[in-house]
Amino acid sequence: MVSRLVLVLGDQLSPELAGLQAADRAADIVVMAEVAEEASYVGHHPKKIAFIFASMRKFAASLRAAGWQVAYSEFDDSENSGSIAGELLRRADQYEASDVVVTEPGEWRLIEALRDVPLKVEMLEDDRFLASHAEFERWAEGRKALRMEYFYREMRRKTGLLMDGDNPAEGKWNFDHENRKPAPDEVSFGGPMQFTPDEVVQEVLDLVEARFGDNFGDLRPFWFATDRSQARRALSKFIREALPKFGDFQDAMLMENRFLYHAVISMYLNAGLLTVMEICEAAQDAWQAGDVPINAAEGFIRQIIGWREYVRGIYFLEGPDYTRRNALTHDRDLPWLYWGGETKMQCMARAVEQTREEAYAHHIQRLMVTGNFALLAGIDPAQVHEWYLAVYADAFEWVEAPNTIGMSQYADGGIIASKPYVSSGAYINRMSNYCKSCAYSVTTKTGEGACPFNLLYWHFLDRHRDRFEGNARMGNMYRTWDRMDAERRKTVLSDAQAWLARMEAGEVV
């Protein structure tokens, strides 16, 4: 029997992967490869590269132990062609194979590259997700607005999670109004489980340090889980120690505590080390046992079967040009402060510092600090997208692009968000302690020391008035602006423009 090649990518590290399920363990060859093209198409954080390479090596070892024949290309293999397509062709020649089975990648760039490979490529849909492409398309068809909440309810019904027959548990679909408490005085959770690098991980760390040491981000200390057993332990620790208070404080930010009650397991889920249902069932079990309140369990599960599934649906529904959308025609270059350049904005400095050191920041830091600033300042969304894709360990394009292009930057013109997610400094002050030690004053609206978020907020609304003043959710903002004294409005806009000019000139702002 002629062997087929079964391609397994670095975010497909799941034994139940469609490609593996369709393969013949006795005859087919699993192909895995650490390649330069995937490691460098954006300047990935060194921790992200190390996490993926180490997890791939361990997954390949587990496949071999289970009886699979694995053709694995390490990054420094002398014969490594440097691309997924090149490695498929090399292995096809080596094993005299012409057929390839692959589970659909989560990125249009790689899907299109595989379609161009001169082999017979059978691409299977990735059924590790709850909603197939066809299912999402059926849900979206004919709707005026594709709002996540209604899709989420369909996923609740489909899975039975937090359901009481046909009705939602405790009578409500969504407990989000209970999940917006400001930062607590104390955090009782010691943070996500951390793992000491073993021999496999150490070898990868040395490789990444040598080859990607100049990339933005600190490689060490490295503490991520890199196999399924470790990832499950990290999940258990979160469910037991942090989930009870996750809901209350999921939007809060603290300078002295980077993780609060967050799970920090998204990279494990996105790489395939954990499954959707095992995570959600663990949260549901904790609620049913009385260990976790409904607002925490529901808020956590909604992020996974609601938001995560929804943004994947949007990514594939909208097609390959989605990352090039720029509905607001923003064109400023991403400022150096995103790469660690000095800034007087405490919230931005801390969010970027944490990103550099941890390859992680939670959703409010991404949306309402770094994302909010980029949107207010008119940064080119393609550059913002590439930054998010590069710097976070959990960032794969299917999940990152809709969050950035759609939710954060409103560059898709409102497909995901019903209004742009912009705020003045008041929101950041309410949800964090960043402002207390900032060089800028969050209560100062104009003049020397005024918080840039205050200035840029009104500048954004003014320059996009034609688009947004008719938005029902933004009418109050424009009425507040219009009630201001004309001279004050002029000063706000002048101060904002001067601040942006200093930023563009490379001054420390």
Q: Is residue 317 scored above 60 in pLDDT?
A: yes
- CB-hemisphere CA count at 13 Å for 238? 26
Query: What is the mean pLDDT of the segment spanning 252-279?
Result: 97
pLDDT tens, 361-373? 999 999 999 999 9
pLDDT, residue 18, reads 98
pLDDT value, residue 3: 85
What is the end-to-end Cα distance of the chain in Å, rounded? 66
CA 287 vs CA 31, 169, 297: distances in Å: 41, 11, 6
Give helix 309-318 / helix 133-140 axis angle, nearest 10°: 80
pLDDT of 20 strictly over 80: yes
Average confidence (pLDDT) over 202-207: 98
pLDDT of 1 above 60: no
Q: Is the pLDDT of residue 66 over 60?
A: yes
The CA distance from 374 to 335, in Å, is: 9
- Which residues lie closer than 8 Å to 251 by C-beta, 6 or more apart? 179, 180, 181, 364, 431
Mean pLDDT of 166-181: 93
Are residues 38 and 84 in contact, defined by beta-carbon separation less than 8 angstroms? yes
The mean pLDDT value for 192-197 works out to 98
- The radius of gyration of the chain from alpha carbons, rounded to an integer in Å, stands at 24
Closest CA to 384 of 399, 372, 394: 372
Residue tagged 């609620």 (tokens): 287
Torsion of CA 243, 53, 49, 51, to 10 degrees: 20
Q: Name which of 121, 155, 418, 174 is nearest 312 in CA terms.
A: 155
Beta-ladder partners of 121: 100
| pLDDT, position 470 | 94
| Domains within the chain, CATH numbers bracketed | 5-124 (3.40.50.620), 133-191+242-317 (1.25.40.80), 336-504 (1.10.579.10)
Bridge partners of 122, per DSSP, are 101
Spatial distance between the Cα atoms of 474 and 177, rounded to a whole number of angstroms: 20
Average pLDDT for 235-261: 97
Residue with tokens 């490594």: 80
The number of angstroms, rounded, from the C-alpha of 317 to the middle of its chain's C-alpha atoms is 18
Instruction: Output the pTM of the full model.
Output: 0.97
- pLDDT, tens digit (0-9, with 9 covering 90-100), for 459-485: 999 999 999 999 999 999 999 999 999
- State the chain's mean pLDDT as an integer: 97
Is 49 within 8 Å of 208 (Cβ atoms)? Answer: yes
> For residue 357, what pLDDT band results from cuts at 50, 70 and 90?
very high
pLDDT at 358 over 90: yes
Predicted confidence (pLDDT) at residue 2 exceeds the cutoff of 90: no
Question: Quick one: CA torsion of 378, 307, 103, 233, rounded to 10 degrees?
Answer: 110
Instruction: Give SS3 for 33.
Output: strand
Contact 102, 29 (CB under 8 A): no
Amino acid at 133: H
Closest C-alpha among 372, 367, 384, 383 to residue 460: 372
SS3 377: helix
- Whole-angstrom distance, CA of residue 36 vs CA of residue 51: 15
- C-alpha to C-alpha distance for 243 and 305, rounded to whole angstroms: 17
Cβ(305)–Cβ(390) under 8 Å? no
- Cα–chain center distance at 469: 30
